[in-house]
Structure 1
Amino acid sequence: MNITRQIYLIGIGMGSRNTRTLLTESILEQCDCIIGASRMLESVQEYKKPQFCSYKPDEICQWLDTHLQYQNIGIVLSGDTGFYSGAKKLENVIKTKLGNDEQCIQVYQIPGISSVVYLAAKLHTSWDDAKIISAHGEKQNYIQTIANHNKTFLLLGGNDIAEEVCKKVKKYHLDDTLFYIGKNLSYENELIVIRKGSELTIEDLSGLCTVMIKNTRPQSWKYKGIPEEEWVRGKVPMTKEEIREISLRKLGLTEDAVLYDIGAGTGSVSIEAALCSEKIRVYAIEKNPEGISLIEENKKKFCTDWVTTIEGVAPDVLNKLEKPTHVFIGGTSGNLKAILKAVRDRNPEVTIVLNAITLETIKETMEATDERLLLNPEIIQVCVSKAKTLGQYHMMLGQNPIYVVTDRKEG
């Protein structure tokens, strides 16, 4: 028997019937059955159609495969099908598992009104100039996003994430940001409250809610680099500003890079790397407790929440970390070749940049090249001099020359 089945992936907005489109209403009226999560099904009870409660693609396909009597199927999804929705994955699974000689499957996506669009209209503001993040069931770098942008929309769900947001807003001193919190949007008990970052409570953010955050003084370090005087300093060595800029360019970080900063010192390379993209994950590895403390202080100052400090000596502490795409080596504690072997074992195509000040380190670098731990290193020497005023004269004072070694996959 060859049958044609039409499956509609339907965005029903926030749940209230008042915000459904006429097209959605028409399709739900014509469907033989309706599938969705329990909260979605509760909002479409008035259609009095057979229902199957599930949001998992495999379960839905298995149920459809054993209920061939239903040929016009509506699968209801919250918000809009193209906005942090399960529609894309669900459509792919349906086409893969149900399309065969016996069934001709046609899948349609029906758009709905998202909570961000709705809240923006309620607040008389735009959303096309905002950063939008869903932290509902996903780990996101929302702190850096809030710190770097004038306007951010954040989708939340659950008490755990509410508690986390409250703690991090206070930890990173985002006290003057304004949170416009929308709850039960589109329903009769709809509530929109405004809180300063310093006033946020877990109760404010609990449950499903959509939040717009205004930051009148966003950071701008990403575009101009951080000068020496801005860092929290101690007695721990720090990579100089000019060397840092060259090393970061040589690393060629991608938008979602995973960077090991080995011998991180005060965290200057880690912080500036993290500021390149809100998706970059950085592991700052440092053996000196004072250095760990300084990295944490600089993390707070520059709101780089996705820099993770690791106290210990490489390569011993590397095994439990996720696979790196890029590695910066500022200090080795005499373990250069062991470190290179460890990161190569984790990712043979990793990009490596190391800084060396002594000829002994360069000797180790050449030995590592002979042993194929470095494959095709580029070695440059950088000499930086800075002008200093002495009375009516200006003198150029030279810093120690630094070797910058870069090794990356060719092509």
Structure 2
Amino acid sequence: MAESPWLTIIGLGEDGPDGLSPATRETLAKADVVMGARRHLDLLPGLGRRRIEWPVPFEDGLPLLLEVRGQRVVVLASGDPFWFGAGSVIARHLEPEEWIAQPGLSTFSLAAARLGWPLESTVTLGLHAAPLTRLRPHLAPGIKAIVLLRDGPAVAALASWLDGSGFGASTLHVMEALGGPRERVRTFTADAPGVDDAAHPVCVGIEIAGDGPVLPLASGLPDETFETDGQITKRPMRALTLSALAPRPGEHLWDIGGGSGSVAIEWLLRHPAMQATSIEPRPDRAERIQRNADALGTDRLRIVTGTAPGALQGLARPDAVFIGGGLSDGMLDWLTSHLPVGTRIVANAVTLESEALLCAAQARNGGDLMRIELAHAEPLGRKQAWRATYPVVQWSVTL
């Protein structure tokens, strides 16, 4: 017969013991060790068991938890521990049979209940340990979002960031200590913040409004969306490239010769489970890619400064590869010989020499070759004429 889990993760509300079920009370009464943040421990002052305050940063508490492995341990968390909470982090370090969870009401549920918002169509984000720019892809008039924040000062930072992004007309509902005796809800606009004394725990409901730039959902963001030194896959080619890469939820992209990072960033914007690694030989461009990724809410982009194929050693295997720079026979040979069957490769060529490399690669490995010629209307005297760009040859193949 399997042993009972030694660890119970309990989602605690701000009402402390008043909100606990009989089963949760019994679990706490039988615990040898209770761990939690100081705030959570203070909500249960009558516990006579060994109490361990969970330190900051959060990762420092995991060794303390593992030291009491096998005893009857309770970890106190906020609300639902598996919705932007501590539960998933703890569970990753244990076997499934070692732990059980008793979730409470999530902050998102409480906030939606106060505001009357449907959670299924409301953006929910945990920004207590993430940059505010994670909200950037969702900034569009009419969108509602509920975000968890680190502390009171983060409310003012959020208002300032929204105002600076062109969405100062957004309405902010600042909600503190939901579900407890200290609960407080106040409303103001981002361009006229009236809250400077918000206390943790705090979340904000945002009714987004304003005339700031909205990121289109289609592939091919405007070029001016990105900081660049001119090394960028331009919007029409980027849209065609992403179509050929065919991103699917949860997949990993290698963006070789990242330039401005536009292809990798747009790949990540397709779905929150996407992963990407950008390989860029120039340190200044690698720093620029990081700034672009941060500004557009894709700070999870991994950036490797180095030259392919050497810099590819040891990286997590990709589902798709884009070659935007540094194309060579050696790189193509390495990719086609090292990557598993099913990997998708897309490469663009402008020069005759690189075009010849792609033609030879297509002869060896199959796939599709496409020649793309674009022209834009530009003034010619008092009239307009077409100005052609350099034609681009694109090779796409599934190994």
TM-score by length of 2: 0.68
- Residue aligned with 2:242, SS: helix
Match of 1:260 among 246, 255, 258: 255
Once the two structures are TM-superposed, the CA of residue 137 in structure 1 deviates from its matched residue by 3.2
Residues 1:130 and 1:353: Cα distance change in structure 2 (over 3 Å): same
Letter in 2 for 1:376: N
Residue 40 of structure 2 is matched in structure 1 by 40
Between the aligned partners of 2:28 and 2:227, the Cα distance in structure 1 is: 66
After the TM superposition, which residues 194-205 of structure 1 pair with which residues of structure 2 at under 5 Å, given as runs? 194-199=187-192
**Which residue, out of 157, 168, 171, partners 1:175?**
168
Counterpart of 1:329, as a letter, is I
The aligned residue for residue 382 of structure 2 is none
Question: Distance between the aligned counterparts of 2:162 and 2:314, measured in 1?
Answer: 26
Q: Which residue pairs with 1:392 in the alignment?
A: none
2:80 corresponds in structure 1 to 80
Q: Contact 1:327–1:353 at 8 Å: present in 2 too? A: yes
- Cα deviation for residue 189 of structure 1 reads 3.3
Compared CA separation, residues 175 and 343, structure 1 to 2 (3 A): farther
Give secondary structure in 2 for the equivalent of 1:222: coil
The Cα shift of 1:355 comes to 1.1
Residues 288/135 of structure 1: CA separation in 2 closer, same or farther (3 Å cut): closer
Can you list the C-alpha shifts for 1:90-129, whole angstroms capped at 9, x where unaligned? 467565796xxxxxxxx54323111121122222323222
* Distance in 2, Cα, partners of 1:131 & 1:139: 16
Aligned to 2:10: 10
The aligned residue for residue 367 of structure 2 is: 378
> How far apart, in 2, do the equivalents of 1:4 and 1:111 lie?
18
Are the equivalent residues in 1 in contact too, given 2:162–2:190 (CA < 8 A)?
Answer: yes
8 Å Cα contact 2:321-2:346 kept in structure 1: yes
Q: Please state if 1:406 is matched with 2:399.
A: no
**What is the alpha-carbon distance in structure 2 between the residues aligned to residue 298 and residue 133 of structure 1?**
18
Whether the aligned pair in 2 keeps the contact of 1:156 and 1:209 (CA below 8 Å) is yes
- 1:356–1:403 contact (8 Å) kept in structure 2: yes
In the TM superposition, what is the alpha-carbon distance from 1:406 to its structure 2 partner?
A: 2.4
Indicate if the aligned counterparts of 1:289 and 1:311 stay in contact, CA closer than 8 A. Answer: no
Contact persistence 1:284–1:307 (CA under 8 A)? no
Whether the aligned pair in 1 keeps the contact of 2:79 and 2:106 (CA below 8 Å) is: yes
Report the Cα distance in structure 2 between the residues aligned to 1:232 and 1:200, rounded to whole angstroms.
29
Q: Report what 1:211 is aligned to.
A: 204
Does residue 357 in structure 1 map to residue 363 in structure 2? no
Change (3 A) 1:231 1:143: closer
CA apart distance, 1:163: 8.2
| Matched AA of 1:111 | P
Q: List aligned pairs for 1:205-244, cutoff 5 A.
A: 207-216=200-209, 219=214, 221-223=216-218, 225-226=220-221, 236=230, 239=233, 241-244=235-238
Larger Rg: 1
Query: Match of 2:347, as an amino acid?
Result: L
Task: Determine the C-alpha separation between the residues in 2 that align with 1:139 and 1:118.
Answer: 23
Distance 1:174 1:388 in 2: 33
Any conservation in 2 of the 1:34–1:49 contact (CA below 8 Å)? no
Cα distance in 1, alignment partners of residues 226 and 81 from structure 2: 46
Once the two structures are TM-superposed, the CA of residue 356 in structure 1 deviates from its matched residue by 1.3
2:248 is equivalent to residue 248 of structure 1: no
Between the two proteins, the alignment pairs up a number of residues equal to 379
Corresponding residue of 2:50: 51
Q: Is the 8 A contact 2:278 2:304 kept in 1?
A: no
Change (3 A) 1:339 1:179: farther
Measure the CA separation in 1 of the matches of 2:307 and 2:115.
50
Q: Would the aligned equivalents of 1:133 and 1:154 in 2 still touch at CA under 8 Å?
A: yes
SS across alignment from 2:139: helix
Q: Distance in 2 between matches of 1:289 and 1:80?
A: 42
Offset at 1:82? 3.5
Q: Do residues 118 (structure 1) and 110 (structure 2) align?
A: yes
Counterpart contact for 1:315–1:342, Cα < 8 Å: no
Question: SS state of the match for residue 363, structure 1?
Answer: helix
Is contact 1:14–1:115 with CA below 8 Å preserved after alignment?
A: no
Q: Does 1:127 align with 2:119?
A: yes
| Segment drifting more, 239-248 vs 21-30 | 21-30
TM-aligned CA distance change 1:316 to 1:125, over 3 Å: same
CA RMSD of aligned residues (A): 5.2
CA pair 274-42 structure 1, distance change in 2 beyond 3 A: same
Over 3 Å counting, the alpha-carbon distance change for 1:245 and 1:10 in structure 2 is same
Residues in 2 aligned to 1:137 and 1:237: alpha-carbon distance in whole angstroms: 32
Q: Please tell me the residue identity of whatever aligns with 1:380.
A: L
Cα distance in 2, alignment partners of residues 311 and 91 from structure 1: 29
Whichever residue aligns with residue 221 of structure 1, its letter is P
Deviation at 1:385, TM superposition (A): 6.5
Deviates more, 1:162-171 or 1:306-315: 306-315
Compared CA separation, residues 249 and 17, structure 1 to 2 (3 A):
same
| Secondary structure at the counterpart of residue 108 of structure 2 | helix
Taking a change above 3 Å as real, the CA distance of residues 306 and 352 of structure 1, as seen in their structure-2 partners, is farther
Instruction: State, as a whole percentage, how many aligned pairs show the same letter.
Output: 15
The aligned counterpart of 1:102 is none
CA shift digits 1:15-70 (9 cap, x unpaired): 5344x143456435753545121332221123x431331554553454253x5xx6
Local SS of the residue matching 1:116: helix
Distance 1:377 1:201 in 2: 63
SS at 2:357's partner residue?
helix
**Counterparts of 1:378 and 1:244, CA distance in 2:** 19
